[in-house]
Amino acid sequence: MMRRREFVAGSLAAALAPVVAGGGALASPRGAGRLLPVPLNPGDTVALVSPSSPVSDSFDLQLAQEVLEALGFRVKPGAHYGDRRGHLAGADAGRADDINRAFADPDVRAVVCVRGGSGGARLLPLLDYDVIRANPKALLGYSDITALHSAIQARTGLVTFHGPNGSGSWNSFNADQFRRLFFERELMEFRNPDDRGDELVQRRNRTITITGGRARGALVGGNLTVLTALAGSPYMPDFDGKILFLEDVSEAPYRIDRMLSTLRLMGALDRIAGFIWGRCTDCGPGETFGSLTIEQILDDYIRPLGIPAYRGAQIGHISQQFIVPVGGLVEMDADAGTFRMLEPAFSPST
């Protein structure tokens, strides 16, 4: 998994760039009404695209295609999905074109990202949001794909899905969630599975309440580093009345502190209705200086808000992860450490 500190400066510059492609990419204001993707069924065609970094081994591309076929889909890889340009999966124009073509293609019913990494924000001015809005389809991915989730939410209101990338782990937990959510259209309740093992009480995989209570709102968020890199751009989603969920990987606590400070200074934290912290994998303090803990940082930024909040949800760089409808309306219960969908994630059309 690639570290994301190098991503911040470049991605923010790209997000703020005045270039607009696709005719009217900035036409839709932030806070657009909710737009549901078309439903998926076994036998449908899905596009496989690489918006961010390339895979380290081309065999991972084959695995990603086999995963989607095992789920029951026909797979249509993007023309540039196997490209490489430094730390990127090819040139910006090619990666963006694959996404635009996937949404415009009447045969494609969903778009799945091969992997995250870095570079997704470079594509945001190049995406055709008019085409995306006119052809609402499910987009699946996480980590650096947060840039796409955020921009598409901000510019179109389309509900997308924060969950396993094509080349990631597709264990029974993730595959079962996918089938229940995408094929059975279940109104999911997201609750960490019991992982007691040989212990008298569960120690692993616990959720911890920061502030108790319940809240309702649409979900926004994803990877903290990628999200805060969009600050000041037209691709940052609206936070008013939302449930903010966050995760990260390989970030020292002082960097987590700085990024939450950015969200507070821009007024985002004051506007949310609830807060869900997933996993911050490999986010321990360094060995050369003192450090706040993640718990202390969340107590400093989240507890004073007085809103329902908890930490430890199965969201992030972990093998078993929730597939979260970004933009979907949910109710969270911070005491129970759960959240549940309040409405379908797909349009009723077939």
pLDDT tens-digit map of 148-196: 999 999 999 999 999 999 999 999 999 999 999 999 999 999 999 988 8
Q: Are residues 238 and 328 in the same domain?
A: yes
**Percentage, residues of the chain above pLDDT 70:** 89
- Which position has the higher pLDDT, 28 or 350? 350
In a domain, 199, yes or no: yes
In a domain, 21, yes or no: no
Q: Are residues 82 and 123 in the same domain?
A: yes
Q: How high is the pLDDT of residue 12? A: 38
| Mean predicted lDDT score pLDDT of the chain | 91
Q: Are residues 201 and 314 in the same domain?
A: yes
Q: Are residues 177 and 197 in the same domain?
A: no
Could you tell me whether strands 108-113 and 74-77 are parallel, antiparallel, or unpaired per DSSP bridges?
A: unpaired
Structural domain including 273 reads: 193-341
In a domain, 25, yes or no: no
CA-to-CA distance for 162 and 105, rounded, in angstroms?
Answer: 22
CA-to-CA distance for 170 and 320, rounded, in angstroms?
Answer: 8
In a domain, 96, yes or no: yes
In a domain, 271, yes or no: yes
Residue 111 has phi, psi (to 5 degrees) of -125, 120
CA-to-CA distance for 327 and 323, rounded, in angstroms?
Answer: 13
Q: How high is the pLDDT of residue 14? A: 41
In a domain, 150, yes or no: yes
Domain boundary among 136, 159, 183: 183
Strand arrangement, sheet containing 309-311: 189-191, 338-341, 329-333, 214-223, 243-249, 274-281, 309-311, 208-211
CA-to-CA distance for 71 and 77, rounded, in angstroms?
Answer: 16
Domain boundary among 183, 205, 238: 183
- Cα–Cα distances (Å) from 199 to 25, 61, 96, 194, 204, in that order, read 54, 40, 49, 11, 9
pLDDT tens-digit map of 246-268: 999 999 999 999 999 999 999 99
Q: How high is the pLDDT of residue 57? A: 93
Q: Are residues 120 and 250 in the same domain?
A: no
Q: How high is the pLDDT of residue 113? A: 98
| DSSP bridge partners of 88 | 85
How many domains does the chain divide into? 2
Q: Are residues 96 and 114 in the same domain?
A: yes
Catalytic residue among 118, 143, 167, 233: 143
> Is 247 among the catalytic positions?
yes
> Is 317 among the catalytic positions?
yes
Q: Record the pTM.
A: 0.90
Catalytic residue among 28, 149, 233, 247: 247
pLDDT tens-digit map of 97-140: 999 999 999 999 999 999 999 999 999 999 999 999 999 999 99
In a domain, 346, yes or no: no
> Is 162 among the catalytic positions?
no
Domain boundary among 163, 183, 203: 183
Q: Give the Cβ contact number of residue 206 at 10 Å.
A: 12
